[in-house]
Amino acid sequence: PAQTMEELVSLCKRRGFIFQGSEIYGGLQGFYDYGPLGVELKNNIKAAWWRSNVYERDDMEGLDASIIMHRMVLRHSGHEATFSDPMVDNKKNNKRYRLDHLLKDQKADVQARVAELMGESVENFAALVAALNANPAQASQALRDAGVRDSFSGEVGEWTEPKPFNMMFKTTIGPVADDESYGYLRPETAQGIFTNFKNVVDSTSRRLPFGIAQIGKAFRNEITPRNFIFRVRELEQMEIEFFVVPGTDEEWHEHWLEKRLKWWEDQGVPRSKIEILDVPKEDLAHYSKRTYDLMYDYPTLGHEEIEGIANRSDYDLGSHTKAQGELGLVAKVEENSDSIAKLTIPHPETNKPVVPFVIEPSAGVDRAMLAVLSEAFTKETLENGNERIVLKLKPHLAPIKVAVIPLARNKEEITSVAKAIKAELQSLGLGRVLYEDSGNIGKAYRRHDEVGTPFCVTVDFDTVGKGEDAGLVDTVTVRDRDTLSQERVKISELAGWIQAKLR
């Protein structure tokens, strides 16, 4: 695995996985662009998720809801009121920080001093942040008295009182910018699922338990985007809302925890690198009855969230439904007089309408990219003493499955065979197969090691009967990324050979 974030960032830029957004104008913080290989890897991760969670189950439907949503959706979901982080400004340079991030950036003695001034302990970090947030005047005094330093300049800052900052992007809809004509870019894909619950049930005749899966972009105006693609403002999520009979929710929560850990393992992210955090009651989000956060051990960052698996109880459907009073809701919801739909489904035993509980596994695509790349990243010393970087990606995730290389790029008899092989392998539907004639073969191998191409197929003079060994006519060399073994395979058997290896 990668040892530092830096070596990943460098590989991603050098080989065309990930670029800074709007780079030619100096870059835009918190936005990244996925390059030629990044888009393939990302698509492969999403496809693997969709295959496992939709196609391989018979209790799941897919959805692709719109990104911009009616402001009522985000009001009744609770996001208008609570989707905020406390932030503080440094008056000296007008820089703004998320309070918990600022505190994490401080030396241990400064953190301890802040805690002492607030009558809290650093060990219970969440309680300390909560205390700072709840007592703005005392908090700004404590930050000053403890000598809290600016994260970037390193100088002691002059801190304002913490204020909540809503992270939703708001946008004008239509030609008139009046008080009513606005909507939000969704901060999570989940709300599109809840608002379509009735549509999906009515059109598919689903009964409990069943789920709806969705992959798509979400937007959060993070105060301090950082750590490469770990914390960005435009992100992509892979989310499931799994609807269950109330009372069976805890069992299903465990089911999904197990399923998701297994999935990460199948993508090359082992269980031993993921800590399961049973989120303490006082840190739970407003909708959650219980949440497991999967904390992957990222290079440089250490254990940070890669996926949250929440028991959202009947909070969401209960918040978006009309006739809340008649439904015996368990969650505490705000009154809703705007919704025109009753979000219930018949109880499978009694047939009485019930608002189901929801288990939500929610994973970030960008954080998945980072984890998958990090686990695959390998530095090896070869027998001849040379060092190589190789991405040992699972074959189903590799951006390029096979590179077909003609040993001489201007010998028609060789290039035509290589092109025919490329066309045949491409037609198998494995993903990208690349015809590669960009230079010397050693360089091509090195490049394909670094981007994780499982196989390189070389067409040489022997293949076309112009070499020394007549026994090698109509065969090619297949080089294995991981073992570096080179095997001669008959062209007529190549497709089957590759298919078997990539399965």
- Is residue 232 at the binding interface for ligand ATP, with CB under 6 A as the rule? yes
Q: SS3 for 326?
A: helix
Tell me the CA distances in angstroms from 44 to 13, 38, 113, 495, one per residue in order. 19, 10, 48, 21
Q: Which of 37, 69, 139, 363 binds ligand ATP (CB under 6 A)?
A: 363
C-alpha to C-alpha distance for 305 and 293, rounded to whole angstroms: 6
432-435 and 163-166 as β-strands: parallel, antiparallel, unpaired? unpaired
CA dihedral 390, 395, 401, 407 (to 10 degrees): 50
**Residues 138-177: x where in contact with ligand ATP by CB under 6 A, - otherwise, as a string:** ----------------------------------------
> 406-435: which residues touch ligand ATP (CB under 6 A)?
none
Cβ-based nearer residue to ligand ATP, 48 or 390: 48
Q: Please list every residue from 179 through 218 that binds ligand ATP, using CB under 6 A.
A: 188
Contact partners, residue 236, CB within 8 Å, separation at least 6: 42, 46, 215, 216, 217, 218, 364, 365, 366
Residue 34 CB, nearest approach to ligand ATP (Å): 13
Selected from 307, 316, 375, 462, the binder of ligand ATP by CB under 6 A is 307
| 362 lies in the site for ligand ATP, by CB under 6 A | yes
Q: Which residues contact residue 327 at a Cβ distance below 8 angstroms, ignoring those fewer than 6 apart? A: 318, 321, 344, 353, 354, 355
Q: Which of 8, 62, 7, 63 has the alpha carbon at shortest distance from 38?
A: 8
Return the residue of 220, 253, 312, 447 that touches ligand ATP, per CB under 6 A: 220
**Per rule CB under 6 A, is residue 436 in the interface with ligand ATP?**
no
Q: Are 394 and 481 in contact (CB under 8 A)?
A: no
Q: Which stretch binds ligand ATP (CB under 6 A): 18-26, 102-110, 305-313, 408-416?
A: 305-313
Say whether residue 367 binds ligand ATP (CB under 6 A).
Answer: yes
Answer for which of 318, 364, 399, 454 binds ligand ATP (CB under 6 A) is: 364
If we measure between CA atoms, which residue out of 337, 294, 287 comes closest to residue 317?
287
Give me the least distance between CB of 187 and ligand ATP, in Å please.
8
Backbone dihedral angles phi then psi of residue 484, each to the nearest 5 degrees: 65, 10
Size of the site for ligand ATP (CB under 6 A): 16
Which one of 237, 324, 453, 458 is in contact with ligand ATP (CB under 6 A)?
237
- Contact residues toward ligand ATP (CB under 6 A) are 188, 220, 222, 231-232, 235, 237, 305-308, 362-364, 366-367
